[in-house]
Amino acid sequence: MVHDAKPRAVADEAIGRAYHAALLNTWKSFTALHINRSPGREGQVWYREYFDRKIRNEGHFEVARHYTEQNPVKARLCCRAEDRAFSSAAHWAGRSAEI
């Protein structure tokens, strides 16, 4: 009897997506709670949906990293991305905070 591996792969992919969604939801809830504990900060932190993307090469990674690092600047949480203590921008600028 020959078994088709495709149904298993489809099931594994669905389980992986469900796990990813649950993990992301937990992370978003945790971070939103802590962000909203900041003085003068309340309300929605994250969009309801998320968008994932497969990084194709190092250039694409750099574009995605820069875009992500600019999010706190766009949200007016800081003036420059490297001013965020725990951000990758701060890390690359040599200013990341110790955990």
Quote the Cα angle for 25-80-24, to 5°.
10
**Band of residue 97 on the pLDDT scale cut at 50, 70, 90:** low
Residue 76 C-alpha from the chain's centroid: 18
pLDDT of residue 15: 76
pLDDT of residue 25: 85
pLDDT of residue 16: 75
Please count the other Cβ atoms lying within 10 Å of the Cβ belonging to residue 64: 13
**Band of residue 11 on the pLDDT scale cut at 50, 70, 90:** low
Q: Is the pLDDT of residue 14 over 90?
A: no
Query: What is the reported pTM?
Result: 0.50
Q: What is the mean pLDDT of residues 41-69?
A: 84
Nearest one of 98, 75, 66 to 85, comparing CA atoms: 98
Quote the Cα angle for 12-46-66, to 5°.
85
Q: Is the pLDDT of residue 59 over 90?
A: yes
Q: Is the pLDDT of residue 39 over 90?
A: no
Q: Give the chain's count of helices (H) and strands (E).
A: 4, 0
